[in-house]
Structure 1
Amino acid sequence: MSIKENVDYIKSELSSEEKLLEGFVKSERFFKKYKNLLIALVVAIVLGSIFYVVKKSFDESNKYESNLLLNSYLEKGDEKALEDLKNKNKNLYEVALYLKAKKDEKSVEISLPILKELLEFELAKKDSNLEALDKLSMKGDFLLKDYALFNKALILTNEKKYQEAKDTLAKISNDSRTIELVNLLNHYLLTK
């Protein structure tokens, strides 16, 4: 190797070491400049993680206690458990109210839309209330829309209003899960 190549090699080595040292100095300046912010960020992440774990544990405990209260109410009829459930878990409290109202066949004020509609459906079906069944079946997002229409048709058939029953069954789509029941009732209505 020539002396010139050796000198170039040494220059390139020194240049790369200078760059490394320069990068180290820049990162040290950055750390000094944002030291408090970086420490605050690390502390926030640690505290956030601890809060998340504690909250998740608390929620699991609350869910378990709520289920125990619901079971106590359902099995023993414990009204104190129902009141405690109202304070602990509003949704399970509403489920308990729905189950009680369904059992007693009475209306009760429920704020959960699905349970409210199911209770209205159960009461309308029990009372053979065509108007209430019709109102429920007109809701586009009602869970049991087709089943409500089928029950309306069944009530109309029992009242010997065969054409109205046929018209109601025609509103049920062919891809409905109730189509087998619809076909059976339509078969019966062919002779009427």
Structure 2
Amino acid sequence: MSLKDNVNYVKDEISSEEKFLESFVKIERFYKRNKKLIVAAIVVVLALVIGFYITKYIQETNKNEANIAFNKVLENPKDSEALEVLKTKNEKLYEIAQYLNTKAEGKTPNVDVKFLKELVQYEKALKDKSISELNSVSMQNDFLLKEFAIFNKALLEAENGKFEDAKATLKLIPTDSKVNNLVNILKHYLATK
């Protein structure tokens, strides 16, 4: 290496060190100017992270306590302490427990849990032999027993002598339905009417 190359190399090194120091000074100035904002942002982020984990822990604890209380209610439906825990920790499980208790007593339960509410409506429609109520329940797209409700509607129509209506109702049930065996039996019966 020549002396000129050495001088250029030293200039480049000094230049890169200058740039590093210059950027460091810029960062330091930015930090000093926005120190409060940066500290506040860090505190907020830490608070959010800690809050998230505390909330998650509380939810998990509530879930476990509600499950234990629900198991106690299943063993002893009259356990008022467990029912109270369920009521405060998990309203849906409380309503399910109320549903089970009311059903065990032979009464018609009043619940707001989506599928149980529909099931109660379906049971009531069957008990009352109400075609209009069965029709209402079976028209709900996400009803679990939709095809069975349609079949029961057709069965009630056949019992009432409305054979053409029953045939039309049975056509609403898809051929790949699990109720299809029952549908075929009823169709054979209706073929003679």
Shorter-chain TM band: 0.7 to 0.9
Determine the structure 2 residue equivalent to 1:57.
57
Query: 1-side partners of 2:55 and 2:169: how far apart?
Result: 51
Task: Count how many residue pairs are aligned between Structure 1 and Structure 2.
Answer: 192
Determine the structure 2 residue equivalent to 1:29.
29
8 Å contact 1:147–1:178 — kept in the other structure? Answer: yes
> Do structure 1's residue 100 and structure 2's residue 101 form an aligned pair?
yes
Identical aligned residues as a percent = 47
Which stretch shows the higher mean deviation, 172-181 or 23-32? 172-181
- By how many angstroms is 1:159 displaced? 4.3
For residue 10 of structure 1, give the secondary structure of its aligned residue in structure 2: helix
Report Cα offsets for 1:128-187 as digits up to 9, x if no partner: 222210111223443332221012122333445433221111122334443343233323
Query: 2-side partners of 1:98 and 1:129: how far apart?
Result: 22
- Normalising by the residue count of structure 2, what TM-score does the alignment of the two structures yield? 0.84
Report Cα offsets for 1:97-134 as digits up to 9, x if no partner: 22234444533332233321111112222332222101
Residue identity opposite 2:42 in structure 1:
V
Query: 2-side partners of 1:8 and 1:180: how far apart?
Result: 93
Query: 2-side partners of 1:103 and 1:189: how far apart?
Result: 37
Report Cα offsets for 1:69-104 as digits up to 9, x if no partner: 222222212251324422221111111222234444
For residue 15 of structure 1, give the secondary structure of its aligned residue in structure 2: helix
Structure 1 residue runs of 4 or more that deviate by more than 4 Å after TM superposition: none
**Any unmatched runs of 5+ in structure 1?**
none
Determine the structure 1 residue equivalent to 2:183.
182
Q: What are the equivalent positions in structure 2 for 1:15-94 lying under 5 Å apart? A: 15-80=15-80, 81-94=82-95
Query: 2-side partners of 1:121 and 1:64: how far apart?
Result: 32
8 Å contact 2:77–2:101 — kept in the other structure? Answer: no
**Any unmatched runs of 5+ in structure 2?**
none
For residue 123 of structure 2, give the secondary structure of its aligned residue in structure 1: helix
Root-mean-square deviation (CA, aligned residues, Å) is 2.4
Query: 1-side partners of 2:8 and 2:181: how far apart?
Result: 89
- By how many angstroms is 1:62 displaced? 1.2
8 Å contact 1:102–1:122 — kept in the other structure? Answer: no
8 Å contact 2:125–2:134 — kept in the other structure? Answer: yes
